[in-house]
Amino acid sequence: MIGGGVLVAAAAASGWIDPDVDQIPYLVTWAGVVLGLLVLVVLALVDAFVSVRLHQRSLDRRLVRDTLRIREAMDREGIGSRTGGGIDDA
């Protein structure tokens, strides 16, 4: 929606409004184009930041899940048991 507005404003600024006759509307229209593009860039950066955060959370969950699976497998096999026969029992 913002991109469509920027496109219409850019078309108006470059073709419909004569800068020699209508200087104020010309400047206002181009200011709208620049502001719209700035908003689009900021929104894209926010979207990228949120996507990276979601990906990090997904990786963290996967790491915890895999760690728990490894711990359960080690407990089933009796490897690294916390209750018996460790090095500290000298």
pLDDT digit string (tens) for 8-33?
Answer: 777 776 776 666 777 787 788 888 88
Please check whether residue 46 is in contact with residue 37, taking contact to mean a CB–CB distance below 8 angstroms. Answer: no
Q: Is the model's pLDDT at 5 over the cut of 90?
A: no
Number of domains in the chain: 1
Please check whether residue 74 is in contact with residue 36, taking contact to mean a CB–CB distance below 8 angstroms. Answer: no
pTM: 0.58
C-alpha of 5 from chain center? 23
Report the distance separating Cα 12 and Cα 30, nearest Å. 9
Query: pLDDT (tens digit, 9 = 90+) per residue, 49-82?
Result: 999 999 999 999 999 999 999 999 998 888 865 5
Give pLDDT, residue 31.
84
The answer to whether position 34 is within a domain reads yes
The answer to whether position 82 is within a domain reads no
Give pLDDT, residue 82.
58
Q: How far is CA 49 from CA 38, 45, 57, 70, in A?
A: 17, 6, 13, 32
The answer to whether position 73 is within a domain reads yes
User: Which DSSP state fits 20?
Assistant: T
Task: Give the residue numbers spanning the domain of 63.
Answer: 2-77
The answer to whether position 87 is within a domain reads no
The answer to whether position 83 is within a domain reads no
